[in-house]
Amino acid sequence: MEPWPPPHRCLGTAAPQPAPPADDAGPTPGTPAGARRLAIFLLRLKTGVVIDQAVEALAGRKQILVFTGAGISTESGIPDFRGPQGIWKQFDPDDYTYDRYINDSDFREKSWEKQFRSPYLSASPNDAHHAVTRLWESGRLIGCVTQNIDGLHTAAGLGPEALVELHGTANQIHCISCGDRPEFDAIERRWESGEVDPACLRCEGILKTTIVYFGEDLPLDATTRAWHMAEQADAVLVVGSSLGVYPAAFVPLDVVDRGNPMVIVNRGETDHDFRATVLVDGTAGEVLPELVNRLVGS
Ligand code: NAD
């Protein structure tokens, strides 16, 4: 079925600007530099038009569900899944199975080392994470469901009542036997002092971050809360996700299935562009603050 209103695709990658910067003499047709400036100028104008359309699609909606993926964190220095610098260019996905984690202590040792030596532990939220928090504070969100495990929504001040981390998080640890949840810092201290595969102090079971590995079920509480938010939502705003990972992608699609608008802010295509009300093909850290400014003001 043809979505209505029809999707609008903009090929811009920058936030809208009504005019070139003051120190820019503006497009000078007839020269290569002038043609380039003219193209950038037109793309920015076009992005601005598409953001207008996104604001229009979300206007009056008070229960917006934000659904985020790895793309919202690339500007914080964390690579996405499938991009040119994507995580699977550095790591083999077959390594990250739950069975292997449970049955292979060498693999667990390596996993803890990667965990505690990860450069991503020190990443900071960017303007897009802060824009999502601002949207929540404005009272327009039912909540934010993220596929990300980087903890950056929390670091941007989004409280647990507003956030569902569907794939777990790298900075929470639990015991897979008794469910105990030791403090992350306490386990890190034990690891630093030489325990290469720290075990649960309560039951001696295997400890693991709450990141969902391949072959592992999604956490039940997070799944239940995500579906509850999707059922209540009156619109969905997708940010930085290819919408190609399931069952997570069913969450925003459920909102659309019930006749609500979907706005996608993503660099490049997603698997469900054809279902979007408005597509903003741009960079989350540039587009989202602009979109939220206009929404909160509307
Ligand atoms: P994905 O890699 O499949 O898709 C990310 C999308 O974001 C791509 O289409 C990419 O072009 C786009 N993108 C990249 N930078 C962008 C930017 N600055 N602004 C807008 N769009 C941008 O990611 P996914 O859909 O989230 O699925 C990947 C899976 O990998 C998820 O399950 C997630 O848990 C996991 N993952 C998480 C992280 C993280 O926590 N930061 C990082 C990598 C992968």
Q: Closest ligand 1 atom, CA of 245?
A: 27
| CATH class of the domain comprising 81-122+173-209 | alpha beta
Give the three-class secondary structure for 134: helix
Q: Is the dihedral of CA 77, 79, 83, 85 positive or negative?
A: positive
For residue range 37-48, what is the model confidence (pLDDT) as tens digits? 777 666 666 666
Q: Tell me, using a 6 A CB cutoff, whether residue 68 lines ligand 1.
A: no
Q: Tell me, using a 6 A CB cutoff, whether residue 209 lines ligand 1.
A: no
Q: Tell me, using a 6 A CB cutoff, whether residue 75 lines ligand 1.
A: yes
Q: Is 197 exposed, middle or buried (0-12, 13-18, 19+ CB in 10 A)?
A: middle
Question: What are the helix and strand counts (H, E) for the chain?
Answer: 9, 8
pLDDT of the residue at 12: 33
- In 3D space, the residue among 63, 80, 75, 74 whose CA is nearest the CA of residue 261 turns out to be 63
Q: Closest ligand 1 atom, CA of 265?
A: 20
Distance 116 CA to ligand 1 centre (A): 22
Instruction: Identify the architecture of domain 1-14+29-44+53-78+126-168+219-298 in CATH.
Output: 3-Layer(aba) Sandwich (3.40)
Give the three-class secondary structure for 186: helix
pLDDT of the residue at 29: 55
The amino acid present at 140, given as its one-letter code, is: R
Q: Which residue ranges of the chain lie beneath pLDDT 70? A: 1-30, 40-48, 82-94, 298
Q: Tell me, using a 6 A CB cutoff, whether residue 51 lines ligand 1.
A: no
Tokens 């969100």 belong to 141
Domain residue ranges in the chain: 1-14+29-44+53-78+126-168+219-298, 81-122+173-209
Residues in the chain: 298
H/E stretch holding 112 reads: helix 105-117
Helices (H), 16-96: 32-58
Our mutation pick for probing the ligand 1 site, out of 67, 74, 78, 81, counting the most ligand atoms within 8 A of Cβ, is: 81
pLDDT of the residue at 129: 98
For residue range 157-197, what is the model confidence (pLDDT) as tens digits? 999 999 999 999 999 999 999 999 999 999 999 999 999 99
Per the CB < 8 A criterion, the answer to whether 3 and 277 are in contact is: yes
Per the CB < 8 A criterion, the answer to whether 275 and 253 are in contact is: yes
Distance CA 132, CA 118 (A): 25
pLDDT of the residue at 93: 66
Our mutation pick for probing the ligand 1 site, out of 80, 91, 209, 214, counting the most ligand atoms within 8 A of Cβ, is: 80
